[in-house]
C-alpha cells in the first residue's frame, strides 16, 4: 500500500478524477484515507484528500506526497464514501463535495513566499530581501519592484517561488498553573522561603491547600497575585504551567433549564412507536411526521433521540437556519445538556470549528444545526431528524448543489437508522412519497393545548381600491391593528416580498399575465419592456391596458418594507414598529436583538419579510397581518402556490399560541386562489389534491424530475452557442419521452456582466443522465479552464433564476 489516490484542490478542473502519489517512507503507515495531504501539482504544491490506498497504479513516474496536514483523518470512512456519492449525485467536483463537509477553519488557503537561492541578488532584489532568506509574496507585491524583475530573477535561478499550504486553524488555548511537586515538598519549600517573599508564600500556600490545576487568569484573580510572582515559582519548579485547549461556548448554559420527558399524548405515542422500533432494530426507514404547529413534534424528536443515546448512538437534528433561535437550542440543551453541539452560521469560524471538533472527538451525542450539520462526523448515527422539511434553505445553491434531505437519507442507509422528516406543510414530493408508502406517515392532527388554530379572514384588496382606499392597508386591517394596540397586545405584519417587481398585475381586476403554454407568470424584463416566459421562451410586449378589463392600472409591483414602515407611520402614528428585513438584520446578532426587543414589549408591531414567519413564539401576539399574500403566487416558479400555502400557514401559526386567542388578516388581490383559500382553513389535504392535479397537468415534480443547466460567459454569442450545443448533445443521449426545454435566457439574464442561458431537462426515468451530463461537461473542459466559461448543473432546482 505505497500509493495514495488523492482528490486535489483544483476547483477549475472540470474532470473529476483522483491522482496517484507515492507515499514516502517517512509517511508510511501515517497516511490513511480521509486525511488531507500536500502534494505537488504542476509547478505548485496543493492540498488534497486521500481517498484510497493501493499498491499499484496504471501511471508511471508518480510524484511523492510532500506532507500531511492532519495526523488523524478529518473525514471518517463513511464521509469519504459519502463525498464520492455526493459528487456523482449532484454532478459536482469531488473536491467541492469534500470541502462542504468540513468547517471553514479547515479549508486551507495558499500562501506564497519568495525564497533566496543565490548568495548575491541584483541590487533591486537585494533591497527587497534586505539580507533575509525568504520574504512573503505580499511584501513583493506591495513593493515597487516590477514583475519583470521578479520573472528575470526566477529565470536566472536566483529566486524561487514557493507555495505554502497553510491551514487556517485557530484554536484557543488557556494557560493552566498547577503544583510542580508533591504536597510535602511544597510545604518544605514554604517553610524554607524567606518571610519577606510574602507574595510568593501566599501563592504557594494556595497550592498547598488546593492541589489542582487552575487557569492562570483565574488564579491571579483569586489569590490576588501577579504574573511575575507566578513566574518566580515557575522558575523554582514549585509550579508548572501547561496549556490546555478551550472551546468557545457561544451559548450561556447557565440560563438553560433542565427538562424531563413529558408523558405523550395518544397521537404522539402512535407516532413515535414505529420510530422507536426502527431505532431498536437498527433499520433504515424514512418517516414523515406531519403535524400542525404546536402539535408536539419536537417532543417526539426529543424522546426518540433519548432512545438513540441510550443505545450509545448519536443524533443529528437539522432545523432551518432562521429558526435556529436560542429558544430552539434551549429545548435540546435543556433535555441533553452538554451532550449537544450547535452548528449555526452566525457562529464565528472559531466557534464553528470548536463545535465540529466536539463531534469529531465524540464529546457530544447530539448535534443541532442548519443544513451542513447533515455532514456531522459521527460514526455511530442512530437517527437523523429534519424539522420543517419543506424549507428551501435545506437546498444548497452553490456547488455541490445538494439537498440535505437526500444526504440524510443516504447516511440513514449507511448507518441503518431512521430519518424523520417533520412539517406542518410537507413538500408535495415528500407527501406523495408518504402516500405511496415509500416513507412512513405519522400524523399529529391536534395542538397539545387543544386550542384551535387562529381564525383567518381574507380581505379582497380590489374592493379597497374600488372604494377609494389606495394605501396598502385595508380598512379592516387598520381597524384591527388599532384595536390591538389599544388592548396592549402585539402584532406581526408580513410583507411577502420575494420576487417583487418581476410580475405584472392589473390593480383593478387582479389579472396577472401568464404564459399561454406553461401556466406560469411571465417575467417583466425592464430593459426590453417585454414579458418573457423562462420555461419555454415565449415572449410578448408589456401591455399598456389590462387584456381582461381594459383598465390602464396594469403594472409591475414594487414595495419594500421601508415604504410600508413609512406608510404605517402616516396611517397609525402612535404605533411603535420594529422592522426586520435583510437591511436591518445584516449585522451579527441583530436578528436576535430585534426579537428580544419585541419580546420585551418595546414595540407594538413587528414588520418584516419571510424571516419573521418562522419559529417565533410570543405570548402577547394576537394579530397577524399579511399585506400581500399573492406576491409570491405569480413568480416564474411552479412551486409558487406551494410556497404561498406554506408561508401563510406558517405565519398564521404565530398568533394566539398561548392564552390569548389569535386572529389573522390576509390581504390579497386574488382571494379565490386555492392556495390562499385553503391556507385560510388550514386544509392541507385539499391543497395537496388540488396542487397535485396541477403538477400532473403541467408535467412538474413530483410527476417528473427536473435538471437545470445554466451557462454563463461574458460573450452572449458564446453563451447561446454553448447552450445550444448542450441541448443538442442531451437530445442525442436521452430517452424519447424526455423533454428538453431551451436554450432560453435565464430570468436573471445578465449578472455581473456575464450573460446567462439555461436549458431544463424534464424526465421520468433517466438512470444515465448524470453520466451523460458529466460527459458533456468534460467536452467543454478546456473552455471552462481557459476561457472563463461556467456551466452549472442543478439536479434538483429550487431557484429557477
Ligand atoms: P411542534 O414542534 O409540533 O410545533 P412543540 O413540540 O413545540 O410542537 O409542542 C408545542 C407545545 O406543547 C410545547 O410547549 C410543548 O412543551 C408542549 N407539549 C408537547 N408535547 C406535550 C405533551 N405530551 N404533553 C404536554 N405538553 C406537550
Ligand atoms: Zn384588469
Ligand atoms: Zn412558457
What is the residue extent of each domain of the chain? 110-167, 172-246, 255-444, 455-500+559-694, 705-794
Banded pLDDT at 501 (limits 50, 70, 90): very low
Question: Over the stretch 272-303, which tens digit does the pLDDT of each residue have?
Answer: 999 999 999 999 999 999 998 889 999 999 99
Give the whole-angstrom CA distance, residue 695 versus residue 697: 6
396 lines ligand 1 (CB under 6 A): no
Angle between helical axes of 326-336 and 297-310 (0-180°, round to 10): 40
Q: Given this structure, which CATH class describes domain 705-794?
A: alpha beta
Average pLDDT, the chain: 87
Give the whole-angstrom CA distance, residue 617 versus residue 492: 11
303 lines ligand 1 (CB under 6 A): no
- Ligand 3 mean position, distance from CA 539 (Å): 8
Sign of CA dihedral 599, 604, 609, 613: positive
- pLDDT of 169 reads 54
Give the whole-angstrom CA distance, residue 584 versus residue 575: 19
Query: Closest by alpha carbon to 596, among 342, 326, 369?
Result: 326
Entry pTM: 0.80
- Ligand 2 mean position, distance from CA 465 (Å): 12
Cite the beta strand spans of 554-700 per DSSP E: 554-556, 577-580, 605-608, 621-626, 663-668
Query: What are the angstrom distances between the C-alpha of 179 and each of 204, 579, 618?
Result: 9, 56, 52
Residue nearest to atom 5 of ligand 1 (CA): 296
Count the Cβ atoms, other than its own, within 10 Å of residue 77: 13
- Ligand 2 mean position, distance from CA 530 (Å): 18
User: Which residue reads 386562489 in cell numbers?
Assistant: 673
Instruction: Report residue 132 as a C-alpha cell.
Output: 533575509
Whether 170 shows a pLDDT value over 60: the answer reads no
Query: Closest by alpha carbon to 253, among 322, 348, 326?
Result: 326
Helices first, then strands: H and E counts in the chain: 25, 34
Count the Cβ atoms, other than its own, within 10 Å of residue 335: 23
- pLDDT of 721 reads 95
Whether 313 shows a pLDDT value over 60: the answer reads yes
- pLDDT of 381 reads 97
- pLDDT of 590 reads 78
- pLDDT of 13 reads 62
Cβ-proximal residues to 303 (8 Å cutoff; 6+ apart), any chain: 261, 264, 272
Q: What is 7-64 written as a DSSP string?
A: EE--TT--S---EEEEPPGGGTTT--TT-EEEEEETTEEEEEEEEEEES--S-SSPEE
Instruction: Please state the rounded mean pLDDT for residues 57-61.
Output: 86
The angle formed by the CA atoms of residues 498, 504 and 510, to the nearest 5 degrees, is 100
Does the fold of domain 455-500+559-694 match that of domain 255-444?
yes
Question: Does domain 455-500+559-694 match CATH 3.40.50.300?
Answer: yes
Q: Give the closest ligand to the alpha carbon of residue 292.
A: 1
Query: Closest by alpha carbon to 783, among 10, 9, 14, 7?
Result: 14
291 lines ligand 1 (CB under 6 A): yes
Q: What is 536-561 written as a DSSP string?
A: T--EEEPPSS-TTT--S-EEE----H
650 lines ligand 1 (CB under 6 A): no
Question: Over the stretch 510-528, which tens digit does the pLDDT of each residue have?
Answer: 888 887 776 567 877 766 7
90 lines ligand 1 (CB under 6 A): no
To test ligand 1's pocket by mutation, which of 299, 325, 329, 453 has the most ligand atoms within 8 angstroms of CB?
Answer: 299
255-444 CATH fold: Rossmann fold (3.40.50)
Question: Over the stretch 106-120, which tens digit does the pLDDT of each residue have?
Answer: 775 556 678 888 778
Question: Over the stretch 685-733, which tens digit does the pLDDT of each residue have?
Answer: 999 999 999 999 999 999 999 999 999 998 999 999 999 999 999 999 9
Amino acid at each position: 500500500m505505497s500509493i495514495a489516490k488523492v482528490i486535489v484542490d483544483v476547483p477549475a478542473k472540470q474532470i473529476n478524477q483522483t491522482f496517484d502519489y507515492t507515499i514516502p517512507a517517512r509517511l508510511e503507515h501515517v497516511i490513511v484515507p480521509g486525511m488531507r495531504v500536500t502534494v505537488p501539482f504542476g509547478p505548485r504544491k496543493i492540498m488534497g484528500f486521500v481517498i484510497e490506498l493501493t499498491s499499484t497504479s496504471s501511471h508511471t513516474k508518480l510524484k511523492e506526497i510532500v506532507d500531511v496536514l492532519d495526523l488523524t483523518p478529518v473525514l471518517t470512512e463513511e464521509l469519504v464514501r459519502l463525498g464520492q456519492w455526493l459528487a456523482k449525485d449532484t454532478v459536482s467536483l469531488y473536491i467541492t463535495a469534500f470541502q462542504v463537509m468540513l468547517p471553514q477553519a479547515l479549508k486551507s488557503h495558499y500562501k506564497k513566499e519568495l525564497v533566496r537561492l543565490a548568495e548575491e541578488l541584483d541590487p533591486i532584489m537585494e533591497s527587497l530581501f534586505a539580507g533575509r532568506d525568504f520574504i512573503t509574496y505580499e511584501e513583493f507585491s506591495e513593493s515597487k519592484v516590477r514583475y519583470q524583475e521578479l520573472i528575470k530573477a526566477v529565470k536566472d535561478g536566483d529566486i524561487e517561488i514557493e507555495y505554502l499550504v497553510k491551514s487556517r486553524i485557530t484554536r484557543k488555548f488557556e494557560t493552566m498553573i498547577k503544583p510542580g511537586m508533591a504536597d510535602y515538598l511544597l510545604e518544605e519549600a514554604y517553610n524554607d522561603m524567606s518571610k519577606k517573599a510574602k507574595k510568593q508564600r501566599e501563592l504557594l500556600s494556595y497550592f498547598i491547600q488546593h492541589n489542582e490545576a487552575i487557569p492562570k487568569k483565574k488564579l491571579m484573580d483569586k489569590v490576588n497575585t501577579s504574573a511575575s510572582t507566578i513566574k518566580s515559582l515557575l522558575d523554582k519548579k514549585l509550579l508548572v504551567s501547561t496549556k490546555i485547549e478551550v472551546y468557545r461556548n457561544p451559548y450561556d448554559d447557565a440560563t438553560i433549564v433542565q427538562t424531563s420527558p413529558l408523558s405523550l399524548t395518544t397521537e404522539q405515542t402512535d407516532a413515535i412507536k414505529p420510530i422507536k422500533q426502527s431505532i431498536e432494530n437498527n433499520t433504515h426507514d424514512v418517516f414523515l411526521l406531519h403535524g400542525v404547529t404546536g402539535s408536539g413534534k419536537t417532543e417526539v424528536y426529543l424522546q426518540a433521540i433519548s432512545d438513540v443515546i441510550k443505545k450509545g448512538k448519536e443524533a443529528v437534528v437539522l432545523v432551518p437556519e432562521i429558526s435556529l433561535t436560542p429558544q430552539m437550542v434551549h429545548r435540546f440543551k435543556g433535555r441533553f445538556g452538554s451532550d449537544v453541539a450547535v452548528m449555526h452560521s452566525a457562529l464565528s469560524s472559531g466557534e464553528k470549528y470548536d463545535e465540529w471538533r466536539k463531534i469529531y472527538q465524540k464529546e457530544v451525542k447530539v448535534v443541532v444545526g442548519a443544513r451542513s450539520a447533515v455532514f456531522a462526523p459521527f460514526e455511530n448515527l442512530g437517527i437523523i431528524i429534519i424539522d420543517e422539511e419543506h424549507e428551501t434553505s435545506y437546498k444548497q445553491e452553490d456547488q455541490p448543489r445538494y439537498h440535505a434531505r437526500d444526504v440524510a437519507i443516504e447516511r440513514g442507509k449507511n448507518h441503518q437508522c431512521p430519518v424523520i422528516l417533520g412539517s406542518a406543510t410537507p413538500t408535495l414530493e415528500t407527501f406523495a412519497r408518504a402516500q405511496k408508502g415509500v416513507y412512513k406517515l405519522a400524523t399529529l392532527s391536534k395542538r397539545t393545548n387543544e386550542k384551535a388554530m387562529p381564525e383567518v379572514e381574507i380581505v379582497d384588496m380590489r374592493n379597497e381600491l374600488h372604494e377609494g382606499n389606495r394605501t396598502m392597508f385595508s380598512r379592516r386591517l387598520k381597524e384591527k391593528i388599532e384595536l390591538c394596540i389599544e388592548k396592549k397586545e402585539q402584532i406581526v405584519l408580513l410583507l411577502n416580498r420575494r420576487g417583487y417587481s418581476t410580475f405584472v398585475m392589473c390593480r383593478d381586476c387582479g389579472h396577472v399575465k401568464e404564459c399561454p403554454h406553461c401556466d406560469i407568470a411571465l417575467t417583466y424584463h425592464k430593459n426590453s419592456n417585454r414579458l418573457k416566459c423562462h420555461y419555454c421562451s415565449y415572449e410578448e410586449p408589456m401591455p399598456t391596458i389590462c387584456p381582461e378589463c381594459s383598465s390602464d392600472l396594469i403594472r409591475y409591483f414594487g414595495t419594500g418594507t421601508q415604504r410600508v414602515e413609512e406608510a404605517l407611520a402616516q396611517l397609525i402614528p402612535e404605533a411603535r414598529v420594529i422592522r426586520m428585513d435583510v437591511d436591518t438584520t445584516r449585522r451579527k446578532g441583530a436578528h436576535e436583538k430585534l426579537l428580544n426587543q419585541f419580546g420585551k414589549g418595546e414595540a407594538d408591531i413587528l414588520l418584516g419579510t419571510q424571516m419573521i414567519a418562522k419559529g417565533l413564539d410570543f405570548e402577547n401576539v394576537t394579530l397577524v397581518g399579511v399585506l400581500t399574500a399573492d406576491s409570491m403566487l405569480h413568480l416564474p416558479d411552479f412551486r409558487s402556490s406551494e410556497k404561498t400555502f406554506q408561508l401563510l400557514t406558517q405565519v398564521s401559526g404565530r398568533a394566539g399560541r398561548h392564552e390569548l386567542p389569535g386572529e389573522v388578516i390576509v390581504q390579497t388581490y386574488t382571494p379565490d386562489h386555492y392556495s390562499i383559500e385553503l391556507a385560510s382553513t388550514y386544509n392541507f389535504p385539499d391543497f395537496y389534491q388540488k396542487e397535485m392535479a396541477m403538477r400532473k397537468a403541467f408535467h412538474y415534480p413530483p410527476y417528473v424530475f427536473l435538471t437545470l443547466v445554466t451557462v454563463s460567459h461574458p460573450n452572449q454569442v458564446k453563451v447561446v452557442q454553448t447552450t445550444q450545443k448542450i441541448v443538442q448533445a442531451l437530445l442525442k443521449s436521452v430517452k424519447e419521452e424526455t423533454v428538453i426545454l431551451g436554450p432560453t435566457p435565464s430570468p436573471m439574464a445578465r449578472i455581473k456582466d456575464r450573460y446567462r442561458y439555461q436549458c431544463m431537462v424534464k424526465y421520468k426515468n433517466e438512470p444515465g443522465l448524470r453520466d451523460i451530463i458529466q460527459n458533456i461537461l468534460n467536452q467543454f473542459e478546456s473552455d471552462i479552464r481557459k476561457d472563463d466559461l461556467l456551466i452549472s448543473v442543478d439536479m434538483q432546482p429550487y431557484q429557477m433564476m
